[in-house]
Structure 1
Amino acid sequence: MNFLSDFQAGLGIALQFDNLLYCFAGVALGTVIGMLPGIGALSTISMLLPLTFYMEPTGAIIMLAGIFYGAQYGGSTASILMNIPGTATNAVTCLDGYPMAKNGRAGVALGMTTIVSFIGGSFSILLLMFLAPLIADVAISFQAPEYFAVILFGLVAASTMASGSVVKGLAMVTVGIVLGLVGLDLNTGVPRFQFGFVEMSDGLSIVALAMGLFGVAEILYNLMNTDGSPFKVQDVTMRSLMPTRQDVKTATAPTIRGMIIGAACGILPGTGATIASFLSYATEKRLSRHPEKFGTGIIEGIAAPEAANNASVQSAFIPTLSLGIPGDAVMAVMLGALMIHGIAPGPALVTQQPELFWGLIMSFWIGNLFLLLLNLPLIGLFVRILKIPYDALYIAMLVFICLGVYSIRNNVFDIFVVVFFGIVGVAMILGRYPAAPLLLGFLLGPMLEENMRRALLVSRGDFSIFVHGPVSATFIVLSVLVLAYGLGRPAMGFLQKMRSRPA
């Protein structure tokens, strides 16, 4: 009965005119941003964080979430029509989507991706509705040692299980934790790492950090690698979007497998939508009776990864909302948005603020319906957006970034912080240092320190308190195993290379 009442209350909040408007604006903007290669949902959400400072918390999170899962829909358009992924999660869609477009089936590919994206997202919303409250009920009894162990596991998993160098990921997490320590000590009030700047007494701004690393850095990097001219794309009609009955039959099983893989990857910290889409594609290729056809333009090659990446995006909200542990950089920014509004993420959010939690979930259903209605009849209009000159677009974005970060505290120092981290972000891209672990470390580092010190105060300095309880001990062991696995992969690869060299 409580579930039904929460469901009805959440639906009433989601159907409020302001929240409907924010939801529609979020998914529409996310669709457009996802189509434009090189921008991405993360950069857009980071740039819009200052705007949400003046909004109601529920409407702000609804709009930011709409941008996130809306970008997954839009990202497939550039992948199919231009062989350029709008977002990293849509990269695998290029493998069969673009060949389908060259074979004259671009409309069918776009229509199918919209349908399977809706199915994958809906599946994960159901999981969110049932799993998040259960996890929150268990986590509400957590003490400081349990929180420390869970946060530690999230940081280790996010830095070692993602693609790229494990050592670089761990290094970036460490840098993020150090940046999170800037400001006044929570217990003693002693300034730390301020270097004489009074403006840093309250710590570095999450908005300035995120906008620098993901907004300015991406813009500068893309300006270095493009001439600013618009892309040439083919037009798509509404009639060409309808898949055949055979297409639907062929795509059914891959869609089901893809959404299950995507939901599982979204729940696990450090995996995310990119890994989910590639894993689902590899699974379909392995299960297929004709694996040689993959890459030539078959419907299974787009149905599975598109269902997976949308399922992953929605299911990523499960650990973020129920435990307060973000699994990737976008979830970390969403967590920061909650903190800006004075909302403590975690089990208390689900149990003490059910209006926000259930209103957000109901908005996911509405947002997915909006996306279905937007992407099918208006696909021709969205395709024309790809013809916007990039040089004009990026200049406007840089101006809005500076205005946005200044408007939060009316402090010029924050603009310098954005510029500094924008330059650092470009250097990290060129050096292939991942920015997502740094942001996760920045957000979770203070929480990790607070719970560690609280636990040690209770135990009077005895570190064994972290392995006394079954929950904390389990997550400590999991952290060690994940770390050993992550560091063991490159070591084993190096040994195999050395053995294969001729004497």
Structure 2
Amino acid sequence: MFDMFVTGFSMIANPMAYLLILIGSILGIFFGAVPGMTSSMGIALVLPVTYSMGIVEGMAILLGIYIGSISGGLITAILFNIPGTPASIATTFDGYPMAMRGEGGKALRVGMFYSFLGGMFSLLVLFYVSPPLAKFALKFGPVEYFSIGILSLTLIASLSGDDLVKGIISAMIGVALTTIGMAPIDSVKRFTFGIGALNGGVQLLPVLIGVYAVLEILKSAENSDAGYGEIPAFKAKGLGVSLKEFKQQFVNFVRSSVVGTVIGILPGLGATISNILAYSIAKDSSNHPEKFGTGVVDGLIASETANNAVSGGAMIPMLTMGIPGDAGTAMLLAAFMLHGITPGPLLFREHGPIVYSIFAILIVANVFTLIIEMYGLKVFLKLLDIPKQFLYPIIIVLATIGAYGLNNRLFDVLCIFIFAVLGYVLDKNEFPLAPLVLGFVIGPIIELNLRRGLMSTYGSFGAFFTRPISAVVLVMTLVLLVFSSLKSRKRQKTART
């Protein structure tokens, strides 16, 4: 194993490879930080440039983009309450309140540091246990994915604030929106009302941009005294956490890393779910859950550790089975095949040195991303000094370009403003927006796998309760519901007294 690592690093031991990783990491941070841009979009734009490169050089810049984009989303999430990517939704919950409290620098440093640690944790898992984990992931079928979707929906309780009913209504609105367009499996048109653009359904990116980016701008513009430039920038030193805080957060870090890595291994779930799932678990496990959402590092660490841990986890099924774990690794799979290499069970045997050069690139990209973000911190904080009359139009234009670039259709741009209005109405009536996004993300997973599972069992629901993994997940769901209910009652009794 050690010899293969030496071989991998020797294959990138040239200035050009490191320069390409550096460029890729910078581009990735940009694509992650700009609302509407994603890692898959960045990789797709740069992919044609790699045609004339060797496999190692081409993967150097592409993997740099992949790693940098996941971490880059925390910048706008913390400073402006606008998640740069769907994977940074939960980062806004505590990151932005910290910035508003004058701890923007500390929040950025903590997020960047734990993004790095989460990524490195998942890479260690990728290096040492990828084959057995990939085989375990093969045991997950539609029945198991459906159960995981149901488990994820129970997070509504922890994301609903003080009003569970409004949280459930918000989540159901999100789920209902996913039923627009062609139905899975049989492609029946639903709720299209004869509008051709609705046949393809509503995409996550316009929903996210409208509900978070444009809504945040509308809320800030509503108050003539509000402005991003007035957010105080706290000058943190070092990595943002003391040794004492690091020890206190160690369990949170390990738990969130495991959640992110496992979610990454399971194809189709992605960093969005891991981000919210880890945050919710951290909140439910905390001795002070009422502080979550007010600006505590616990929630920030959980969300940023988990979404970056997905990066290594998602590479496991891609390299060992040729199954992409998310949109980013789907583009990386295309890059492999364009260079004549087919990921799968024989990849380690036939192209061992190249595989370990990929591992080396991932390590270097994580280190470069941390360095770039830490040394660029002063630049990021300078964004707070930009007058809002200049900043607002820039954000809207970039978000619009990102939404249009998704499918090259103006309908997605229109959706941004439709969901901004919807989000504004819900927010004014004190409906939480996080359950809406969660319902929108999980809805298709539950519906698709419910129908696939029933097809595989000839219409019987028994398999959902008798297959071991599904049964365990459903039991966990029940336990979580009971646990959340008891904690909620305990908080209510405490509040009354």
What is the TM-score with the length of structure 2 in the denominator?
0.67
Counterpart pick for 2:466 among 468, 489, 497 = 468
Alignment map for 1:281-300 (pairs within 5 Å):
none
| Whole-Å separation in 2 of the counterparts to 1:220 and 1:15 | 44
Distance in 1, Cα, partners of 2:432 & 2:389:
26
Give the one of 245, 264, 268 matched to 1:254: 245
Q: Which moved more, 1:45-54 or 1:361-370?
A: 45-54
**Equivalent position of 2:29 in the other structure:** 27
Structure 1 138/204 Cα, relative in aligned 2: closer, same or farther at 3 Å?
Answer: same
Q: For the residues of structure 2 that align with 1:397 and 1:189, how far apart are their CA atoms?
A: 36
Q: Find 2:156's aligned residue among 153, 156, 159.
A: 159
What is the identity, as a one-letter code, of the residue corresponding to 1:25? L
Q: Cα distance, 1:434 vs. partner? A: 3.6
Question: Which residue in 2 is equivalent to 1:40?
Answer: none
Whether the 8 Å contact between 1:266 and 1:311 is mirrored in structure 2 is: yes
Aligned to 2:419: 421
**Contact 1:89–1:309 (8 Å) recurs in 2:** no
- Within a 5 Å distance, the mapping from 1:229-378 to structure 2 comes to 230-231=229-230, 251-265=242-256, 267-268=258-259, 270-272=276-278, 276=282, 310-315=304-309, 317=311, 335=326, 365-374=363-372, 377=375
Q: 1:385 to 1:448 in 2, by over 3 A?
A: closer
Residue in structure 2 matched with residue 412 of structure 1 by the alignment: 410
Partner of 1:224: 222
- Which residue of 1 is the match for residue 35 of structure 2? 44
Answer yes or no: is the 8 Å Cα contact 1:230–1:387 preserved in 2.
yes
Instruction: Give, in angstroms, the shift of residue 392 of structure 1.
Output: 0.5
Change (3 A) 1:484 1:277: closer
Q: CA deviation at 1:120?
A: 3.9
Tell me: CA distance 1:404–1:21, structure 2 relative to 1, closer, same or farther (3 Å): same
Confirm whether residue 483 of structure 1 aligns to residue 481 of structure 2.
yes
Give the partner amino acid of 2:308: Q
Query: Partners of 1:497 and 1:60 in 2: how far apart?
Result: 52
CA deviation after TM superposition for structure 1 residue 222, in Å:
2.8
1:338-390 superposed Cα distances (whole Å, 9 cap, x missing partner) = 679999xxxx9997999999998766633442344335555555544432112
Is 1:189 aligned to 2:191, yes or no?
no
Moved more, 463-472 or 167-176: 167-176
| 3-state SS of 1:386 partner | helix
**CA distance in 1: counterparts of 2:108 and 2:199, whole angstroms:** 52
> Using the alignment, how far apart are the partners of 1:74 and 1:188 within structure 2?
40
Using the TM superposition, name which of 216-225 and 265-274 deviates more. 265-274
Number of residue pairs matched by the alignment: 437
Cα separation, 2, equivalents of 1:7 and 1:159: 47
Within 5 Å, which residues of 2 pair with 1:202-221?
Answer: 202-221=200-219
Q: Deviations over 1:204-233 (max 9, x none)?
A: 123322222222222222333454473486
User: Deviation of residue 45 (structure 1)?
Assistant: 5.0
Counterpart code for 1:21: I
Write the letter of the residue equivalent to 1:387. D
Deviation at 1:179, TM superposition (A): 1.9
* Percent identity between the two aligned chains: 20
Distance between the aligned counterparts of 1:431 and 1:151, measured in 2?
28
- The question of whether the paired residues in 2 share the 8 Å contact of 1:183 and 1:192 is answered with yes
CA shift digits 1:135-163 (9 cap, x unpaired): 4321212232222212222232x323446
Cα offset, 1:23, TM superposition:
1.5
> CA contact under 8 A between 2:12 and 2:361: conserved in structure 1?
no
**Shift in CA distance, 218/9, structure 1 to aligned 2, threshold 3 Å:** farther
Mapped to 2, the partners of 1:95 and 1:421 lie a distance apart of 25
Shift of 1:97: 7.8
Q: Distance in 1 between matches of 2:312 and 2:197?
A: 35
| Segment drifting more, 456-465 vs 418-427 | 456-465
Partners of 2:363 and 2:121 in 1: CA distance: 11
Shift, 1:484, TM fit: 3.1
Residue 95 (structure 2) aligned to one of 90, 95, 103: 90
Unaligned regions of 5+ residues in structure 2, if any?
Answer: 49-58, 82-90, 260-273, 319-324, 335-341
Q: 1:25 to 1:11 in 2, by over 3 A?
A: farther
Q: 1:373 to 1:175 in 2, by over 3 A?
A: same
Residues 6-61 of structure 1: CA distance to partner in whole angstroms, max 9, x if unpaired? 9949996995765542312333676xx5xxxxxxxxx7255887666545498678
User: Structure 1 416/464 Cα, relative in aligned 2: closer, same or farther at 3 Å?
Assistant: same
The farther-off stretch of 147-156 and 224-233 is: 224-233
Cα–Cα, structure 1 residues 431 and 381, in superposed 2: closer, same or farther, change >3 Å? same
Q: Please, which runs of 5 or more residues in structure 1 have no aligned partner? A: 34-42, 80-85, 286-300, 325-333
RMSD over equivalenced CA pairs, Å? 5.2
**CA contact under 8 A between 2:30 and 2:69: conserved in structure 1?**
yes
What SS does the aligned partner of 1:189 have? coil
With structure 1 as the length reference, what TM-score do the two structures score? 0.66
Asked if 1:392 corresponds to 2:383, the answer is no
Change (3 A) 1:408 1:252: closer
Q: Secondary structure at the match of 1:400?
A: helix
Counterpart CA distance in 1 for 2:123 and 2:234 is 36
